[in-house]
Chain A
Amino acid sequence: MSLYDIIFYLFASITVLSAFFVVTTRNIVYSAFYLLLTFFGVAGIYVLLGADFIAVTQLVVYVGGILILLLFGVMLTNKITNVQIKTGTVKLAPAAIGVALLAGTLFAGLLNTNWKTFNSEVPVSTAHTLGLILLTQYGVVFELLGILLLIALIGAASMARK
């Protein structure tokens, strides 16, 4: 087993285990912190796949932005002083069976598919190429997403202020 494989198994186990704890822990604040671990694990997997810029974006946007937003959501909607922070669950057993079936189907599908893979070259730094593609080939999409983000932030602020 090479070093690459060992690091992959490390990050994969971090990701899957912490994702499992996210959906099973009853305390919602613990869930948020396990979600932090999941995002870190996914960022590590991106690095292993040669996507260094996406990994950094994942850390900045998910860990620095979305997770903080989620924690604010938790704190603003739970009565912290009344220790009402535990959350309930509904219909655990049928959901577990259904999700296990779904996962089994997907896994069998991916094992039985004959993926045509190309052995890619040694990973290079992607930031330069991604920047060029974003502002030339995908320029319109890039601008539209900027406008979408602006609209979403203004809308969210005005909705939350009411």
Chain B
Amino acid sequence: MEVGLNHFLFVSVCLFSLGIFGIVTRKNAVMVLMGIELILNSANINFIAFAKYGNFGYQGQIVALFVIILAAAEAAIALAIVLNIYKTFSTVNVDEIDTMKD
């Protein structure tokens, strides 16, 4: 079967679902971040697949580039927050962090 748009979208669907699964089930906050990275990657695959198979020129690739930049900023901020949580609560398990102040 000739590889077309559907194949790339299927990979993207798989990555998105696995990312949601990781976010929902894992306790560790860093694992939740990894799930978010999977979801951002799946969105990027969609953007670039539509940039190739749709008639949109280079706009999809530009947006994918912006998504990568935002992912870098998001990862830096999120890890700083995770480190602060660890200093305050001595754990990064998101199910144990249920107080608004210490």
A positions within 8 Å CB-CB of B:
4-5, 8-9, 12, 15-16, 19-20, 22-23, 28, 31-32, 35, 38-39, 42, 45-46, 49-51, 53-54, 57-58, 61-62, 65-66, 69-70, 72-74, 76-77, 87-92, 95-96, 98-100, 102-103, 106-107, 110-111, 115-118, 120, 126, 129-130, 133-134, 138, 141, 145, 148-149, 152-153, 155-157, 159-160, 162
Contacts and interface: CB of A to CB of B under 8 A. Distances in A.
B6 A88 contact: no
Contacts of A66: 37, 71-72, 75
Give chain A's interface secondary structure class.
helix
A134 to B, nearest CB: 7
6 tightest A-B CB contacts, nearest first: A23-B22, A152-B73, A103-B17, A87-B28, A159-B80, A156-B80
A23 B10 contact: no
Contact of A12 (B7, B19, B51, B73): B7
B25 to A, nearest CB: 5
Given A15-B14, A152-B77, 19 more contacts: A16-B15, A19-B18, A23-B26, A23-B38, A42-B45, A53-B61, A58-B44, A62-B37, A62-B68, A73-B79, A88-B28, A99-B18, A103-B13, A110-B13, A115-B5, A117-B4, A145-B66, A148-B73, A156-B79
A23 B35 contact: yes
A141 B66 contact: yes
A70 B25 CA distance: 18
Contacts of A91: 24-25
B85 to A, nearest CB: 8
Given A23-B22, A99-B20, A115-B5, A15 B15 contact: yes
Contacts of B97: none
Contact of A110 (B10, B30, B41): B10
B10 to A, nearest CB: 7
Contacts of B4: 117
A160 B18 contact: no
Nearest to B93: A88
A127 B93 CA distance: 42
A71 to B, nearest CB: 9
Contact of B25 (A89, A106, A110): A89
Contacts of A16: 11, 14-15, 18
Nearest to B59: A133
Given A66-B37, A107-B13, A95 B24 contact: yes
B25 A95 contact: yes
